[in-house]
Chain A
Amino acid sequence: MTSVIELEQLSVTFGKRPILKSLSGALNGRAIGLLGPNGAGKTTLIHTLLGFHPPTSGTARIFGQDITRDAKQVRSTVGYMPENDSFIAKMSCVQFVRLMAELSGIPARHALERAHEALFYVGLGEARYRPIDSYSLGMKQLAKLAQAIVHGPKLIILDEPTNGLDPPTRSRMIALIRQIRDGGRARILLSSHLLRDVEECCDEILVLKDGYIAANCNLEEERKANRKFIELETRGGNRAGFAEAIGGLGCEYALSGERRIKLIMQEKVEISDLYRLALEHGVQIRRLNFKRDSLEDIFLKAMENGNLPEVSAEVNNGNRIGNGNGRAN
């Protein structure tokens, strides 16, 4: 199956300053989160994918099409919502979105209809005849989303879509992104500083640091893996016997402190088995936690990683950065 985005030794240099350093990897998620601190190269990567900056070396492919050789085809399959205020002055929103639709290749007679539909879809239906200049920040963000989706692209690139939005508008934006993702007709590349946005919307993340790939992992897989790690807090009874019995089920375990037991669940073992064994050994289970690495943990661990070029090389070989327990190396 063709990857959504393939990076092949992609490097971008501005002047003498390297911004992206030999990035390689394949991104296949329905919604891909692009994370990294300021200056990590997120926006440059997006701009390079859109053909705004030529790669110094290497290349990238979107749905198998080369970003330099097939630039126009690539751009006709992509919708882009820029980070900053971007609009065409002295136009009503519907005219603006219609113009964008026509420039994307939709004939004039269909473009107006699509523009109306896109604006209703993002919730600007009632305000669509107003000039964009008069819109609030939240409305402008929604208008930018409308112009990005009006031609029905296969990949929607969203650069900081919730920037400066109030909570209700942010929720609306996140809901729209999730709706598009779940519809399955378009893939999403979401660049954001807000980990919560990425966590709510994305199933795969690419973390950049200093122009290198610091982590690339599938959040769904990470979440599934996290479900295997359990921490029990117990009281009374034969704790050692209980732990040995858990080991007897084939689970690895470790005693921690006076009351805690950490274990890795096996596929055939159910939670009810743990309660049964606890009853047999007179142990009370006071607390049962699925140990879970949040996106923040993954991000921070990726940021702590001091051996980035090797990490990139690992990704090049197709290995995941996460080691199965939800941690980035």
Chain B
Amino acid sequence: MAVYEHLYAAYEGAPNSARQRFLVIPRYALREVFKSKLLVTFFILCFIYPLVATILVYLHHNANALALLQINVRELLPIDRTFFRTFLEVQGAFALILTVLVAPPLISRDLSNNALPLYLCRPLSRAEYVLGKMAVIVFLLSLVTWIPGLLIFFFQASLAGFAWLWANLWMIWAIFSGSLIWIILLSLLALAVSSFLKWRVVASGALLGLFFVPSAFGEIVNQLFLTRAGSLISLWASMNSIWRGLFGLFVRQSGTIRGKVDSPIYEGQVVNIALLEPPLWASWLIIALVCALCVWLLARKVRAYEVIK
């Protein structure tokens, strides 16, 4: 099909790899994503905390710098499991906002422009289409979560020595898997929302709402009924429990305390407060269920044509 011949001809060269074909989607989508100045600015902001963490690690091992800045090493945050868990928590929050900025139009734009038949009439399955769209979010969120997390970890290991690395080797898995679970949850939720809501602003709002509304509601339940069970409906709280579990910091608080409480229901009465924090497996279960629900919704929604039965 040469331009000047104006003839129709088949492509006779070697095709690209069928297994990696879905990666064409994120390549084009990322090009579009980085055209937004707002997103690029926020993306740069996402690296401020890793930079601060790196400086902290450096200061811990540089007596000259500490002396110059007149800082006592004991005043600095210790570089331990709590340091990395906090890192994950902060970067996890940035990842959430990044998802809200990037993800909503990913599927909704294709749905509103009726582009799905064009994707799915090619050698690309529905699962590969979703994977391709997911890859956009996974790539961006990886850059702000586990990749800088591991880089800081190895930086600390290089300064602290082999003994520290050997003693904390398990943290590599905690940083990686903790980030990955959060990334998968965010991408599935974002894509599910994107496949249902065609308006970007509404989709962004809905995505934020999915995190903040249940968290607020759960906190109200906790305060009113003096329980911790309300945290179960909060995705952020569940994820925090999982992170604490992965870093060996999860301590389930249970037991009864007798005391005066300011809850609106008890109004300063002295009552028995039953502290029963949901077990760690309950948080895993909640996250797994939400992911499964999102997969189910995507399977229902991502179709070339919707059949009205």
Q: Which residues of A contact B (CB under 8 A)?
A: 14-15, 17, 47, 50-53, 71-73, 75-76, 78, 80, 82, 84-91, 95, 99-100, 102-108, 110, 114, 116-118, 120-121, 125, 147, 149, 151-154, 179-180, 183, 185-186
Contacts and interface: CB of A to CB of B under 8 A. Distances in A.
B61 interface: no
B113 A87 contact: yes
A14 B306 CA distance: 11
B8 A149 contact: yes
Given A121-B1, A149-B8, A153-B10, A107 B15 contact: yes
B305 A103 contact: no
B115 A87 contact: yes
Given A75-B122, A104-B122, A147-B118, A152 B9 contact: yes
Given A52-B304, A103-B124, A105-B18, A88 B115 contact: yes
Contacts of B70: none
B162 interface: no
Given A88-B115, A90-B109, A106-B13, 13 more contacts: A82-B117, A85-B114, A87-B118, A103-B124, A104-B122, A105-B21, A108-B24, A110-B11, A117-B2, A121-B6, A149-B1, A151-B10, A179-B8
Contacts of A53: 305, 307
Interface in B1-37: 1-3, 6-16, 18, 21, 24-25, 28, 32
Which applies to chain B's interface (DSSP): helix, strand, loop or mixed? loop
B125 A72 contact: yes
A118 B9 CA distance: 10
B300 interface: no
A114 B11 contact: yes
A160 to B, nearest CB: 13
A78 B121 contact: yes
A15 B309 CA distance: 5
B124 A52 contact: no
Interface of B: 1-3, 6-16, 18, 21, 24-25, 28, 32, 109-110, 112-115, 117-125, 303-305, 307-309
19 contacts: A15-B309, A80-B117, A80-B118, A82-B118, A84-B114, A86-B113, A87-B113, A88-B110, A88-B115, A95-B28, A99-B28, A103-B24, A103-B124, A105-B18, A106-B13, A107-B16, A110-B13, A152-B9, A186-B10
B14 A50 contact: no
Contact of B121 (A75, A121, A179): A75
A179 B18 CA distance: 31
Contacts of A76: 15, 122-123
Contacts of B120: 50-52
B123 A75 contact: yes
Given A102-B24, A179-B8, A180-B8, A152 B113 contact: no
B16 A102 contact: yes
Nearest to A46: B121
B114 A103 contact: no
B107 to A, nearest CB: 12
A153 to B, nearest CB: 7
Nearest to A120: B3
A114 B2 CA distance: 8
Given A75-B122, A84-B114, A107 B14 contact: yes
A87 B11 CA distance: 22
B123 A104 contact: yes
B304 A89 contact: no
B305 to A, nearest CB: 6
B36 to A, nearest CB: 11
B15 A106 contact: yes
Contacts of B2: 117
A152 B11 contact: yes
B304 A50 contact: yes
Q: Which of A73, A86, A88, A103 is most buried by chain B, counting CB atoms within 10 A of its CB?
A: A103
Q: Which of B6, B110, B121, B307 is most buried by chain A, counting CB atoms within 10 A of its CB?
A: B121
A116 B3 contact: yes
